[in-house]
Amino acid sequence: MAFMATVLVLLAAGVHVDSQTLDSYIPHITNRDLEGKVTTSTFVLEQPRCNFTDVGEDEWIWLLVARSSAAEGIPLPKVPKNLPYQSFSTNSAYMTLETAAVNYPCATSPDEITILRVGTETSCIKDASTPNCNGPLPDPGPYKVRFIVIRPDNTTKSNWSDDIILIQGRDYTTINTSPRRGNKGMIALTSILSVLMAILLASFIAILIYKCSDNCGNADIASIRDAATVTRYSTHHMYNHPTSSS
């Protein structure tokens, strides 16, 4: 009975009883139904909620991003600035998204955001003063990530995630821009529609010609008739006036 009472108290407080330590956690892409969970330069992780029972609330948690081919051989850094984003091309790893353990609580509400989008910052790509830049991933990968807590005596870390492969854009030189050949049915349908359009256009033109000839013809006949009826008149100087007798 005492055990059940304890469980009920924890549930009422909004605390999950299935919390675990960080070293048993495996990061993963979120299972939520979201658009763009994986793009050409970003991916969305589920937050590692309720996995920090052995981490102090004032300790900082970092995300270590690495190329899968180099992940196992990367030594854990003593300080985060040893693996800045700006040196990713040479170190094959960088650290980002630092936050306190208190920001990954067990309790959640329906409106609370519980995801992490990796690769969203573009303003700090070349800014050496921002080594923790959450910059875009340069290529499809694959990549692996893990959460770590750097301590002077020992560093706590999660497991590596599975391979994360980003969407790969197509090389424009491989895109076939030539017209695609349609099937026979489509060709026949197109031909029939073209003939019908030609007939319709010819009928429309014939109607216009008929209407125009009907109206314009009557106008021309009236003009010809009016032109044939000419009033004859003489000016006063065309005839000699008879002289008066004296």
Q: What is the pLDDT, as a whole number, of residue 3?
A: 31
Largest CA distance in the chain: 163
Q: What is the pLDDT of residue 182?
A: 56
Element housing 144 (H / E): strand 143-149
Mean pLDDT score of the chain: 77
Indicate the pairing of strand 143-149 with strand 115-118: unpaired
Query: CA 216 to CA 211: how far, in whole Å?
Result: 8
In the chain, where are the structural domains located?
A: 18-167, 184-226
Q: In Å, how far are 42, 79, 201, 233 from 136, measured between CA atoms?
A: 6, 22, 56, 99
Render pLDDT for 190-211 as a digit per residue (tens, 0 to 9). 888 898 889 988 888 888 888 7
Q: Which tens digit of pLDDT belongs to each residue from 142-157?
A: 999 999 988 877 778 8
pLDDT for residue 172 is more than 50: yes
Name residues whose C-beta falls within 8 Å of residue 108's C-beta, 6 or more positions apart in sequence. Answer: 14, 49, 114
- Whether the full predicted model's pTM is greater than 0.75, yes or no, is no
User: What separation in angstroms does the CA of 79 have from each of 95, 150, 154?
Assistant: 10, 7, 12
Q: What is the pLDDT of residues 88-114, one digit of tens each?
A: 999 999 999 998 888 888 876 777 778
Bridge partner list, 62: 148
Q: Over the range 72-90, which residues count as b (16 or more CB within 10 Å of their CB) and which as e?
A: eebeebeebebbbbbebee
Question: Which DSSP category does 146 fall into?
Answer: E
pLDDT at site 5 = 35
Find out whether 86 and 176 touch, Cβ atoms under 8 Å: no
Residue 134 has pLDDT above 90, yes or no: yes
- pLDDT-derived band of residue 13, with 50, 70 and 90 as boundaries? very low
- Indicate the burial class of 164 (C-beta count within 10 angstroms; 0-12, 13-18, 19 or more): buried
Please give the CATH topology (third level) of the domain spanning 18-167.
Immunoglobulin-like (2.60.40)
